[in-house]
């Protein structure tokens, strides 16, 4: 079967979305809700799209972005992060971080604090290579996912975003074709 | 004065173009640092001696109060009270060793300064970059007060006040106030103020970052103002002594100088100073009640006040030693600031290494035991404990080690060895081991340098610019 992007995408209406100005807690709730609504889906939703007042997609929040909100944000941790540019090994940096956390054990407060943070402070603005037209083939989508190392692409119809193409769905389709080819041989 | 302003605009633009990736605009920092009227006040001067090359070329530049020695060309640049010392440049047919390679030098090395603005900056040593053995270049670079560009070709960089680039090729980098880097080759890096970074690829990596809130009281620099803090106050208090030295045409040494020692005519010597054999005192050094034993050296912009240095002690460029007693073979790195008090003296045990850009500022007596490595900011015993280690202990580190704000990775043995070898080389180059016949160094070769002065256009369209000048034997 010759898949197109349209065949594999999750329509925007089935995707978790929040508006600019929402908190991370609201974004998590939106994610939980689509999870419940589309329980039957083989793969779980892992990201939330952020919409502006004109309902245009302006950003995407991945699981990694949520986790970033739990990272301490102070001068000491910034200085530790800065060590990498001096050519120290990951192990040395990890040891510095461990020392930092031993001095300041994380408390439940960081979760309370993170839940109140705004989505726009953590979302990723889609780059040029993150858009794919719904008419494109599976191969083009695979190429874009690989070169951009993206977990999903935003699917466009003319100027509008109409869905999300997830790597998990592309993988499933590719696997399906592979099986078909194997069976016909 | 418009010619100087146009030149400054050109240099700022070129530096900014190089730093655009870092999103840095040097203009607010440097535009008003030195009023153009200051740049016509002071003569420039150069040294002549039978031991040094003489090959100078100046074109479309201002050289106010700057000093030149050796082979050097300056084009489209502003040099304000800077020292360009070409007495360690490589010579034709020298062999430069880099890793497993032995590379022959094709022609005498030259310090080549283009489109740059150097303020009270020291340029010394030679290019350690195997890609540019014959040119020690400084291009599109601005270096602020008391920066050191030591064996470090530089292209498109900004060095803040008291910053040091040492044996490192730097390209498109921002080296923050009071930062020291010795890392071989770096590019497109923003080094925050107070960083001390010593890296030898695949061998060791040392990093210390001064706590900024404490460092600020010693040195701070923000856009629109000149650098300020204890360092600057200390220098300003002694500025008048230098004016006297530069105003007088002929100046005899005010203290006895042994025949094996060198006391630069542009150093300040205050009463009760004693100069031992094989001592080197460079220009713009300041000695007051300083007892210098055999083989001690006081390099450019170093200050030794009410202190005793027993012998073979190195006071590197810009280091200050006040109310202190140093046993033999102590190394005090670039721009370090060591200040005891009259009744709370600082004692440093023999063969200790005070890392470049270290601050020791005490109000109670403090003793650093022999053979120790000290770094960072030390104001009392507690700080010393967290910012020092016996060299023998440090040499045992073979993976990684951290202490307070210092982190180290690699071989401690190699780190200690590299420092000790370098200290030996500095003493050798400075003539500390001269035995009356051989092992001559700067202390013996810099004794009879004559100084000639050169001046800019005093008025008119080219006011402040020096005419094109070529000086050769």
Q: Which residue of B has its CA nearest to A90?
A: B409
What local confidence, expressed as pLDDT, does residue B455 receive? 94
Q: Answer yes or no: do B407 and A96 touch at CB < 8 A.
A: yes
CATH superfamily, region B2-232+448-471: Hexapeptide repeat proteins (2.160.10.10)
| Spatial contact of B354 and B389, defined as CB atoms under 8 Å apart | no
With CB atoms and an 8 Å threshold, state whether B407 touches A83: yes
- Same-domain pairing of A60 and A124: yes
Q: Which whole-number Å values give the CA distances from B64 to B41, B73, B78, in the listed order?
A: 7, 15, 8
Q: How many residues does chain A have?
A: 185
| A129 and A111 fall within a common domain | no
Highest mean pLDDT among A12-26, A51-65, A148-162, B375-389 belongs to B375-389
- The reported pLDDT for the residue numbered B279 is 97
Q: The pTM is what?
A: 0.89
Residue B8 zone, left/alpha/beta (φ > 0; ψ -120 to 50; rest): alpha
Summarize the confidence of residues A59-72 as an average pLDDT: 90
Q: Chain A interface, mutation test: which of B168, B183, B205, B403, most A Cβ atoms within 10 Å?
A: B205
Least confident of A38-42, A92-96, B112-116: A38-42
Q: Range of A143's domain?
A: 5-67+117-184
Report the domain count for chain A. Answer: 2
Q: How far is A101 from chain B (nearest CA, A)?
A: 15
A92, A99, A103, best to mutate vs chain B, most B CBs in 10 Å: A92
- Determine the residue of chain A that is closest to B410 in CA distance: A88
Contact A88 B402 (CB under 8 A): no
Distance CA(B82)–CA(B38), nearest Å, equals: 14
Whether residues A140 and A98 fall in one domain: no
Among A82, A89, A96, the residue with its CB nearest the CB of B402 is A96
Can you give the pLDDT at residue A14?
Answer: 87
Q: Which residue has the tokens 């990723």?
A: A124
Half-sphere exposure of B169 (CA within 13 A, CB side): 11
Q: What is the mean pLDDT of each run of 10 residues along chain B (473 residues)?
A: 92 97 94 89 92 95 96 98 95 92 94 98 95 96 98 98 98 98 97 97 95 96 94 96 84 89 94 96 96 96 98 97 98 98 97 98 98 98 98 97 95 96 95 94 87 92 94 95
Helices and strands in chain B: count of H runs, count of E runs:
9, 45
pLDDT of residue A1: 61
Quick check: A88 and B205 CB within 8 A?
yes
Whether pLDDT at A39 is above 80: no
Which residues of chain B are within 8 Å of residue A83 when distances are taken between CB atoms?
207, 407
Residue B409: which of A79, A85, A88 has the nearest Cβ?
A88
Asked if ipTM goes beyond 0.85, one says yes
A132 lies in the same domain as A106: no
Cα distance between residue A14 and residue B417, in whole Å: 65
Identify the pLDDT of residue A159: 83
Q: A79 to chain B, minimum CA–CA distance in Å?
A: 9
Residue with tokens 């040099």: B79
Q: Do B2-232+448-471 and B238-445 agree at the fold level? A: yes
The tokens describing B363, both together, are: 């109000």
In Å, how far from its chain's centre is CA B299? 8
- CB spacing of B407 vs A88 below 8 angstroms: yes
Question: Are A86 and A76 in the same domain?
Answer: yes
Euclidean distance between CA atoms B272 and B304, whole angstroms: 12
How far is the C-alpha of B241 from the C-alpha of B456, rounded, in Å? 24
- Taking the C-alpha atoms of residue B40 and residue B30, their distance in angstroms, rounded to an integer, is 18
- Nearest-angstrom CA–CA distance, B11 and B39: 16
Per-residue confidence band for A103, with pLDDT thresholds at 50, 70 and 90: confident
B406: closest chain A residue by CA: A96
Gap between the Cα atoms of B30 and B154, Å rounded:
18
Decide if pLDDT at A16 tops 70: yes
* Among the partner residues B199, B209, B402, nearest to A87 by beta-carbon distance: B199
Separation of CA B284 from chain center: 11
CA distance A105 to chain B (A): 18
Regarding whether A126 and A95 lie in a shared domain, the answer is no
Q: Do A37 and A74 have their domain in common?
A: no
CA distance B40 to B189: 35
A73 to chain B, minimum CA–CA distance in Å?
18
Same-domain check for residues A20 and A47: yes
Q: Search chain B and give the residue with CA nearest A95.
A: B402
Distance between CA atoms of residues B279 and B297, nearest Å? 5
pLDDT tens digit string along B345-384?
Answer: 999 999 999 999 999 999 999 999 999 999 999 999 999 9
What architecture (CATH level 2) is domain B238-445?
3 Solenoid (2.160)
Same domain, A60 and A78: no
Environment class of residue B337 by beta-carbon count within 10 Å: exposed (0-12), middle (13-18) or buried (19+)?
A: buried
Q: Please tell me whether residues A39 and A74 are part of one structural domain.
A: no
A123 and A170 co-located in one domain: yes
My answer on whether A78 and A149 are in the same domain is no
Q: Is the pLDDT of residue A106 over 80?
A: no
> In angstroms, what CA-CA distances link A16 with A62, B61, B161, B352?
11, 64, 52, 64
Q: Where are the domains of chain B?
A: 2-232+448-471, 238-445
Q: What is the pLDDT of residue A42?
A: 62
- Among the partner residues B192, B205, B402, nearest to A87 by beta-carbon distance: B205
Q: Per residue, what are the HEC states of chain A?
A: CCCEHHHHCEEHHHCCEEECCCEHHHHHHHHHHHHHHCCCCCCCCCCEEEECCCCCEEEEECHHHHHHCCCCCCHHHHHHHHHHHHCCCHHHHHHHHHHHHHHCCCCCHHHHHHHCCEHHHCCECCCHHHEEECCCEHHHHHHHHHHHCCCEEEEEECCEEEEEEEHHHHHHHHHHHHHHHHHHC
Among B407, B408, B410, B411, most A C-beta atoms within 10 A, so best to mutate, is B407
Instruction: Residue B207: list chain A partners with CB under 8 A.
Output: 83, 86, 88
A82:B192 CB<8 A? yes
Q: Which residues of A touch B403 (CB under 8 A)?
A: none
- Report CB contact under 8 Å: A99, B402: yes
Using alpha carbons, list the distances in angstroms from residue B207 to A86, A153, B120, B317.
8, 41, 26, 21
Phi, then psi, of A69 in degrees rounded to 5 = -70, -20
Strand bridging mode A48-51 / B184-187: unpaired
Across residues A156-161, what is the average pLDDT?
89
pLDDT at B218: 98
Question: Under a CB-based contact definition with an 8 Å cutoff, are residues A12 and A161 in contact?
Answer: yes
Integer Cα distance of B405 and A79 in angstroms: 10
A residues 86-105 closer than 8 Å to B (CB): 86-89, 91-92, 95-96, 99
Largest CA distance in chain A: 62
């Amino acid at each position: 079967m010759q898949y197109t992007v349209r065949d594999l995408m999750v329509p925007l209406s089935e995707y978790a979305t929040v508006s600019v100005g929402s908190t991370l807690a609201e974004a998590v709730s939106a994610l939980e809700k689509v999870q419940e609504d589309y329980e039957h889906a083989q793969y779980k939703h892992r990201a939330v799209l952020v919409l502006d007042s004109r309902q245009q997609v302006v950003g995407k929040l991945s699981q990694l972005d949520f986790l970033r909100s739990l990272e301490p944000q102070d001068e000491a941790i910034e200085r530790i992060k800065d060590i990498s540019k001096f050519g120290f090994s990951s192990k040395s940096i990890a040891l510095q971080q461990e020392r930092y956390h031993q001095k300041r054990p994380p408390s439940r407060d960081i979760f309370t604090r993170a839940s109140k943070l705004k989505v726009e402070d953590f979302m990723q603005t889609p780059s040029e290579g993150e858009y794919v037209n719904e008419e494109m083939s599976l191969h083009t989508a695979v190429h874009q996912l690989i070169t951009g190392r993206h977990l999903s692409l935003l699917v466009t119809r003319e100027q509008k975003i109409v869905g999300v193409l997830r790597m998990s769905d592309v993988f499933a389709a590719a696997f399906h074709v592979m099986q078909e080819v194997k069976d016909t041989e | 004065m418009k010619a100087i302003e146009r030149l400054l605009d050109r240099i700022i633009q070129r530096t900014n173009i190089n730093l655009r990736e870092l999103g840095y605009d040097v203009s607010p920092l440097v535009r008003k640092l030195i009023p153009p009227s200051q740049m016509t006040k002071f003569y420039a001067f150069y040294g002549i001696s039978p031991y040094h090359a003489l090959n100078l070329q100046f074109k479309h530049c201002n050289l106010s109060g700057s000093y030149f020695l050796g082979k050097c060309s300056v084009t489209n640049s502003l040099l304000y009270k800077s020292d360009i010392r070409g007495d360690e440049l490589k010579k034709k047919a020298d062999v430069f060793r880099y890793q497993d390679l032995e590379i022959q030098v094709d022609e005498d090395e030259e310090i080549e300064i283009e489109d740059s603005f150097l303020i009270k900056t020291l340029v010394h040593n030679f290019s350690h970059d195997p890609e540019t053995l014959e040119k020690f270049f400084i291009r599109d670079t601005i270096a602020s007060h008391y920066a050191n560009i030591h064996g470090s070709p530089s292209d498109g960089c900004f060095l803040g006040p008291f910053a040091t680039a040492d044996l490192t090729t730097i390209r498109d980098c921002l080296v923050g106030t009071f930062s020291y880097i010795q890392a071989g080759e770096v590019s497109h890096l923003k080094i925050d103020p107070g960083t001390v970074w010593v890296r030898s690829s695949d061998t060791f990596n040392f990093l210390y970052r001064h706590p900024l809130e404490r460092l600020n009281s010693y040195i701070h620099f923000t856009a629109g103002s000149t650098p300020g803090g204890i360092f600057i106050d200390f220098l300003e208090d002694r500025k008048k002594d230098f004016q006297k030295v530069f105003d007088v045409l002929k100046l005899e040494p005010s203290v006895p100088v042994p025949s094996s020692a060198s006391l630069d005519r542009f150093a300040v010597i205050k009463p009760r100073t004693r100069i031992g054999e094989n001592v080197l005192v460079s220009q713009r050094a300041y000695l007051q009640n300083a007892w210098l034993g055999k083989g001690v050296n006081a390099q450019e912009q170093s200050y030794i006040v009410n202190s005793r240095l027993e012998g073979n002690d190195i006071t590197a460029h810009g280091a200050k030693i006040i109310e202190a007693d140093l046993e033999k073979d102590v190394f005090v790195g670039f721009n370090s600031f060591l200040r005891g008090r009259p009744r709370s003296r600082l004692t440093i045990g023999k063969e200790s290494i005070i890392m470049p850009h270290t601050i020791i500022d005490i109000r109670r007596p403090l003793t650093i035991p022999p053979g120790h490595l000290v770094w960072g900011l030390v104001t009392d015993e507690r700080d010393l404990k967290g910012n020092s280690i016996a060299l023998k202990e440090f040499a045992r580190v073979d993976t990684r080690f951290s202490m307070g704000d210092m982190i180290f990775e690699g071989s401690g043995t190699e780190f200690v060895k590299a420092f000790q070898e370098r200290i030996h080389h500095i003493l050798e180059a400075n003539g500390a081991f001269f035995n009356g016949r051989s092992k001559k160094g700067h202390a013996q070769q810099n004794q009879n340098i004559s100084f000639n002065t050169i001046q800019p256009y005093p008025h008119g369209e080219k006011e402040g610019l020096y005419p094109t000048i070529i000086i050769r034997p």
